[in-house]
A and B are shown apart, each in its own frame.
Chain A
Amino acid sequence: MQAVEFDALLLSRLQFAFTIAFHILFPAFTIGLAAFLAVLEGLWLWTKRDAFKVLYLFWVKIFALSFGMGVVSGIVLSYQFGTNWSEFIRLTGGVIGPLLAFEVLTAFFLEASFLGVMLFGWKKVGPKLHFTATCLVAVGTTISAFWILSANSWMQTPQGFEIMADGRFQATDFMQVVFNPSFPSRLVHMLLAAFLTTGLVVGAASAYRILKERKGPPVTGWTESRISLVMAVGLVAVLAPLQLLAGHWSGEVAHKHQPSKTAAIEGYWETRADQPLHLFGIPDRDAQKNHFQISIPGVGNAIQNVPRDEVIQGLDAWPREDQPPPFIPFFGFRIMVGLGLLMILLGGAGAVLIWRRRLFDSPWFLRFCVAMGPSGFIAVLAGWMVTEVGRQPWVVYGVLRTRDAVSPVTTAEVAASLTAYVIVYAVVFTAGALFILRLMVEGPVAALAEPAPRQDRAPGSPLAKAPEDTSPGEGV
């Protein structure tokens, strides 16, 4: 086995993996949370029920914390393309640069500007304008996902470009660049993942409060936790099965356009017809085989949606230097799918319990919800590792190698920056996670513990009519 050399390339890859893994947690959560907040505020304006306001004020605090951490960890990425991957940008900047610029122009400004109104504008603007601000933030987060997924998908399935004499890339058709083959399926897959992540977190926080309050008399926040649990479980029940389909769609596209990624995911070393399905195994790059393999013969082709007698490429179809390292794609994929199946189980069981009106009286289910709280994050991280490691050794699949994309910087510089990021992120994200967990433990009552926004509204506005304080124990 080749000795691992800690050069600027490997350290830059580790640093990118580290910083983007932390960053993706926040968009994965805030895309769904922004939409959840928009729904809550809309329901509040429409029904004038205070429970929705309390829920909004509670979750907006968690949103503000998460969004702030997402913003600062995102700025790191926009500069890291240059500091660590300057050759990638020098060569491909003319193609994916506009996608990133459009993300800033169409999404970041929208989110950042209206977030201020959303958090601090209660006393400054009317309720409809405030609701509009919330909606615009939610729209902004989704537009952001659109552009960044487009750029990343182009790196997976590049098209619509030519390489000029000096090696730089130039777009021949920007529509083809933006709407490259893997973009639609990956965008849908990621947006569903974001909504599921939010649903699972909201569900876990609500279930935790219900479990805690189950034995005592109804207290403040009692109603709110029940409302949000029903909303979260309902969302998971609908979206988790859809995510299975979206994931499958994404897998089919990968099989068609990135066969080496599929081979790594499935642990196929041998090119053959009638592939098996490997449930478990330890892929070994040096031996070019799996150890301790547990397989179901004869069903691999069916999973890929191709006839049984059709040949599916194994990793032996590529020379060693063109093979992706299979370990992370293989296990990442199985973790993601396993969690996805648990999400479907949670949604299905929850739907049955809602139907039977036993949702709040099933401690085992509530505990299941709490346990599944972080599962969305884990699945998102696992999925991104599958797709990014599965793309290797390419930064732009089949066109530009990762090792040719790195900046001309010294190993010492990258070691210093990686160390600095690990320390800063450890402090910042530990603190942030603790603040969020503390709010969740307190539950929606935390929204009432602090001075609520004053409602000096013009008479006749929905806000003016809404009662000032919440009455505890109101039935669901």
Chain B
Amino acid sequence: MLDLPLIWAGLIATAVLLYVMLDGFDLGVGILFPFARSKEERDVMMNTIAPVWDGNETWLVLGGGGLLAAFPLAYSVLMPALYLPVLLMLAGLILRGVAFEFRFRARNRGRRFWTQMFAGGSILTAVAQGLILGGFIQGVTVENDRFAGGPFDWLTPYTLLVAAGIVAGYALLGGAWLMMKTKDSLHGDAKRWTLISAAAVGGLLAAVSVATLFIHPRIASRWGFDLGSGFAVDWAVLTPLLLIPALGLIGLGLVVGMARRGSHRWPFAGALLLFLSGYLGLAASFIPYVAPYAVTFRQAAAPDNALGLMLVGTAVILPAILGYTAWVYWVFRGKVDAEAGYH
């Protein structure tokens, strides 16, 4: 018999990871928008993501919809707990989502407004996603299968630190994406943005990693630290897990080293690796909870017949989605210049 809840936990975790990586660079381009030199450069930046952003964002809908369908209990606990940051995220997504079309339709003042909305919406989305992630990791209060905390539980120094990390991380992905997709002076700017973001990400990721150990005793012990009575380390637990931060260091090394050597593509691969490492690190910390530290993925799982039906459908459809998504990226491969738009 298949372990359906486990498979679905893996599928949704993968969908969220794909979302973070794919829409991460879209949002990163928006975060970097204010630093562009000219309208033409902003047009090119936007055109590098215009054909793919909508598909990328669909992974967020799958993450949310998948959580709803596979783990309804987790979804119904997390969404009320993160009510306000989810609202901020949706407002940000609306503003930057419509800006793709509106910015090209508007004239003069309107165009400047939608340029600002694209940047502001992207930054707001990234901050809100950081608050959601931070609020998720620090845990939610649950009584009788219902959220039982307050409206501002998600607002702590820790979640603000995570939000800063996410903004820097998305800027890194966006910068590295632009290095890959642009030429000439814009490419040079993108390289500078990438290196600056990489430095910020290095510092913030380290800070978040340390802070996370203190956020819940479970996490510290999961990593082999005993912070209760002084400071003790269980090396048998910690050593294998050190592969995860090592992966992140390799990613960061790829970004910085290869960008300096003039590579156009490797920094993006390095940034993806860095995100994978951060993601695995967090996942290792809160597994098996889907609503830390109250509901596990087994408790939250939908009935087996629902999970089974969806698995059959997913087994057929997901390969097709991955196939045509890859095809779309292949169609729009290569450098983007000023003539790429349809407008």
User: Do chains A and B interact in one complex?
Assistant: yes
Chain A residues with CB under 8 Å of chain B are 61, 64-65, 68-69, 71-76, 78-79, 81-83, 86-87, 89-90, 92-95, 97-98, 100-106, 108-117, 119-122, 124-125, 168, 170-171, 174, 407-410, 412-413, 416-417, 420, 424, 428, 431-432, 435, 438-439, 450, 453
Q: A93-B75, A121-B51 are in contact. Are A105 and B314 (CB under 8 A)?
A: yes
Q: Closest CB of chain A to B260's CB: distance in Å?
A: 33
User: Is A69 within 8 A of B76, CB to CB?
Assistant: no
Min Cβ gap B135→A in Å is 13
Residues of B contacting A111 in the complex (Cβ-Cβ under 8 angstroms)? 54
20 A-B contact pairs sorted by A residue (CB < 8 Å)? A75-B94, A76-B94, A79-B79, A82-B79, A83-B83, A87-B76, A89-B72, A101-B62, A102-B310, A104-B65, A110-B324, A113-B325, A116-B50, A116-B52, A170-B303, A171-B305, A174-B305, A409-B151, A410-B151, A439-B105
- Asked whether, in the complex, the Cβ of B57 is within 8 Å of the Cβ of A65, the reply is no
Assess whether B94 is in contact with A89, with CB atoms less than 8 Å apart.
no
With beta carbons under 8 angstroms apart, the residue of B87, B147, B341 that contacts A86 is B147
Within 8 A of A (CB), among B322-343: 324-325, 328, 331-332, 340-343
Q: Is there contact, CB below 8 Å, between B97 and A120?
A: no
Q: Is the CB of A104 within 8 A of B61?
A: yes
A97 touches B68 (CB 8 A): yes
Whether B80 pairs with A407 at a CB distance below 8 angstroms is yes
Query: In whole angstroms, how far apart are the Cα atoms of A56 and B321 in the complex?
Result: 27
Known contacts A68-B101, A413-B84: does B51 contact A120 (CB below 8 Å)? yes
- Complex partner residue of B68 from A68, A100, A170, CB under 8 angstroms: A100
A292 to B79, CA, bound (A): 46
Whether A82 pairs with B68 at a CB distance below 8 angstroms is yes
Closest partner residue, chain A, to B96 (CB atom): A72
Determine chain A's interface SS by DSSP, over half rule. helix
Q: Which residues of A contact B110 (CB under 8 A)?
A: 431
Smallest CB separation, B220 vs chain A (Å)? 30
CB B45 to nearest CB in A, in angstroms, measures 15
CB–CB B98/A93 < 8 A = no
Residue pair B51, A117 in contact (C-beta under 8 Å)? yes
Total of A-B residue pairs, C-beta within 8 Å? 232
Q: How far is the CA of A97 from the CA of B72 in the complex (A)?
A: 8
CB distance from A471 to the nearest CB of B (A): 23
For residue B303, give the distance in angstroms from its CB to the closest CB of chain A.
4
Nearest CB of A to B144, in Å: 10
CB distance from A443 to the nearest CB of B (A): 16
User: What's the nearest-Cβ distance from chain A to residue B249, in Å?
Assistant: 34
Q: Is B204 located at the chain interface by the 8 A CB criterion?
A: no
Provide the residues of chain A in CB contact with B79, threshold 8 Å: 79, 81-83, 86, 407
Contact (A93, B68) CB under 8 Å given A78-B61, A106-B317, A113-B55: yes
- Taken together as a complex, chains A and B put the C-alpha atoms of A64 and B90 apart, in Å, by 20
A450 nearest in chain B by CB position = B343
Give the Cβ gap from A382 to chain B, nearest Cβ, in Å: 26
A residues less than 8 Å from B75 (CB atoms): 81-82, 86, 89, 93
Given that A76-B94, A416-B87, A420-B87 are known contacts, is A86 also in contact with B80, CB under 8 Å in the complex?
yes
Q: Which of B129-154 contact A (CB under 8 A)?
A: 145-148, 151
Task: Tell which of B87, B106, B321 touches A109, judged by Cβ atoms closer than 8 Å.
Answer: B321
Contact with A along B292-323 (1 / 0, CB 8 A): 00000000001101100110011001100100
From known contacts A408-B147, A408-B148, infer whether A104 and B66 are also in contact, taking CB-CB under 8 Å.
yes
Contacting pair B64 A431 (CB below 8 A):
no
Give the complex CA separation of A64 and B310 in angstroms. Answer: 31
| A162–chain B nearest beta-carbon distance, Å | 10
The interface residues of chain B lying within 8 Å CB-to-CB of A417 are 83-84, 87
Q: Does the CB pair B72–A93 fall under 8 Å? A: yes
CA of A27 to CA of B127, assembled, Å: 30
Q: In B30-74, which residues have CB < 8 Å from any A CB?
A: 47, 50-52, 54-55, 57-58, 60-62, 64-66, 68-70, 72-73
Determine the distance from Cα of A168 to Cα of B95 in the docked complex, in whole angstroms.
37
Choose among B65, B70, B148 the residue that contacts A78 (Cβ–Cβ < 8 A).
Answer: B65
Shortest distance between the CB of A408 and any CB in chain B (Å): 5
| CB within 8 Å for A424 and B91 given contacts A94-B306, A98-B306, A117-B51 | yes
Contacts of A438 in B (CB 8 A): 105
Most buried by B among A64, A72, A90, A121: A72
Which residues of the partner chain A approach B70 to less than 8 Å between Cβ atoms? 97, 101
Q: How far is the CA of A68 from the CA of B76 in the complex (A)?
A: 28
A residues in contact with B340, CB < 8 Å: 120
Given contacts A86-B79, A407-B80, contact A120 B342 (CB under 8 A): yes
Q: Is there contact, CB below 8 Å, between A408 and B325?
A: no
Pick from B72, B90, B317, B318: contact of A90, CB under 8 Å: B72
CA distance A125 to B332 in the complex (A): 10
Complex formed: what's the CA distance from A263 to B93 in Å?
Answer: 41
Q: Is the CB of A95 within 8 A of B51?
A: no
Closest chain A CB from B63 CB (angstroms): 9
Interface check B200, CB cutoff 8 A: no
B102 within 8 A of A: yes
Whether the pair B151, A97 counts as a contact (CB closer than 8 A) is: no
